[in-house]
Amino acid sequence: MSDENQRSAWEIDPSSDDSSSNNSVHHDREHEIHAPRSDRESSFESTQTGFSSTPSAHATGSDQFGMPGQPTGSNQFVDPNQSAGFGQPTGVMQAPRQLPHKTKRFSTPAVAALILAAAVASGAVTGAVVSNRDSGSSSDNSSAVSALKASPAKTKNVDTNGSVQSVAQKVLPSVVSITVEAGNSGDTGSGSIISEDGTIITNNHVIAGAANGGKISVTLNDGTTYPANIVARDPETDIAVIKAQGASGLTPISLGDSSKLEVGEEVVAVGSPLGLDATVTSGIISAQNRPVQASSESSDQSTLIDAIQTDAAINPGNSGGALVDMDGNLIGIPSVIASLGSSSMSQGSGSIGLGFAIPINQARDIAEQLIKNGKVQHPVIGVQVAKESTAHGAVIVDVPSDSDAAKAGLKRGDVVTKVDGRTIDSGLSLIAAIRSHKVGDTVKMEVTNQDGKDAREITMTLSSQETSGE
């Protein structure tokens, strides 16, 4: 079955206190974007925008796309005029079954109505993250931790000897099809093997349906199937780690370095769109640092990613799979797709060349924390930003007096225009930029007032907010 629950992309923190209802939102793009949800719709708590995940393979009903590998769902957009809590992690991604397609549209000039959603097979929705960690000892996961901590594989910067065919031959043995059975529903998605004994990284929205006792099975490229357990998951970043039980001698995927990517670079996507195992597509990196948020209609939470954009065909069921470079190194986890809006999955809900992946550098850090600690520390700066503004940047609407941000010199009304040299044009892009860092990192922000004056530079160390890797 295909991912039916998708999250709305480009949505700002739904958990903010500001509840104004203006639907006009300024985003990177000047067109309407609908963000469907994934298996588990994610809600973004406080300061971070959630990303839209592609739907799982068995999705039916509403045409939502978000995280590939999760079920599609209705699109939800947070009121653009509401403030977004900045620096806090996103909430639980839930992948409900097909739900009525409801979306708030941005009032910016629309070139085409788009839908962002997660790609996972349909599945039951859980109202909260439930602890369901694998009972295996920490030593059982040592190989996975070592793989995640290892230096990224080197990627050639110019032409390589690689071809799509050679990349496929290398990567296919390391990508699995994931099936989740929860009650009367089932979801399908994808995952990448990171250790010989069966540790697999995927999207939370792909396996969230099993959090309350559902069953997970993974199928290798050679047809071998194993039952799997959840090691830990983080709905806020839509990353999850599962373990194939009784597996050995598997072929781990090579982990690349997403910080070295360049726009125009060729990439290959591998996964199980619409339940079609071992599907290979190719394309290029269309853009980087796209702040994409996904949310679900059945949840108040959403997830935001600082995404890699690609035109490689990504469809429901690809969620959690592999986006690799031409050396076969994993550089991203397909999680969100955009599709032309329609009222049913049969109309215009396929790939239109707008797919989004979680950068592997962020994913491997989250996965390592989940495996080692069962919980995740997310970087935050502890302020709230406006979701909509005419200012060219992210407008700060609240700074707690005792916060590190206040001590660093940020104040209400400031406009952040750059973070470490990266242009910031909205609250979403600021949140995504901070989310791309690690706790303890030092960042430099260029700040002005709302008239573009009083320019100054502020340096601060990112603090943390913890979420349980349930």
Q: Determine which one of 26, 58, 205, 378 is catalytic.
A: 205
Residue 214 tokens, joined: 């559902």
Catalytic: 238?
yes
**Is the pTM higher than 0.75?**
no
Residue 155 tokens, joined: 């990627």
Catalytic: 20?
no
Diameter of the chain measured on Cα atoms = 63
Per residue in 202-245, pLDDT (tens digit) is 999 999 999 888 999 999 999 999 999 999 999 989 999 999 99
Per residue in 304-324, pLDDT (tens digit) is 889 999 999 999 999 999 999
Catalytic: 339?
no
Residue 76 tokens, joined: 């939800």
Closest CA to 57 of 143, 119, 106: 119
Residue of higher predicted confidence among 377 and 302: 377
3-state secondary structure of 375: strand
Strand partners, 345: none
pLDDT score of 147 more than 60:
yes
pLDDT score of 37 more than 50:
no
Give pLDDT, residue 332.
98
Lowest mean pLDDT among 21-30, 78-87, 248-257, 276-285: 21-30
**Percent residues over pLDDT 90 in the chain:** 50
Lowest mean pLDDT among 16-30, 162-176, 424-438: 16-30
pLDDT score of 156 more than 70:
no
Lowest mean pLDDT among 68-77, 157-166, 379-388: 68-77
Give pLDDT, residue 349.
62
Closest CA to 442 of 459, 418, 424: 459
**Given the structure tokens 């089932």, which residue do they identify?**
186
User: Exposed e or buried b for every residue in 167-205, given b needs 16+ CB within 10 A?
Assistant: bbebbbbbbbbbbbbbeebbbbbbbbbbbebbbbbbbbb
Contact of 243 with 199, CB cutoff 8 Å: yes
Q: Determine which one of 52, 74, 192, 319 is catalytic.
A: 319
Which domains, ranges and CATH numbers included, belong to the chain? 1-376 (2.40.10.120), 377-468 (2.30.42.10)
pLDDT score of 39 more than 50:
no
Provide φ and ψ at 173, rounded to 5°.
Answer: -65, -15
Contact of 93 with 301, CB cutoff 8 Å: yes
Name, in order, each residue with C-beta under 8 angstroms of 346's C-beta and a sequence gap of 6 or more.
Answer: none
Closest CA to 219 of 253, 194, 251, 191: 191
Q: Determine which one of 3, 238, 257, 414 is catalytic.
A: 238
Instruction: Name the DSSP class of 201.
Output: E
**Given the structure tokens 């859980």, which residue do they identify?**
126
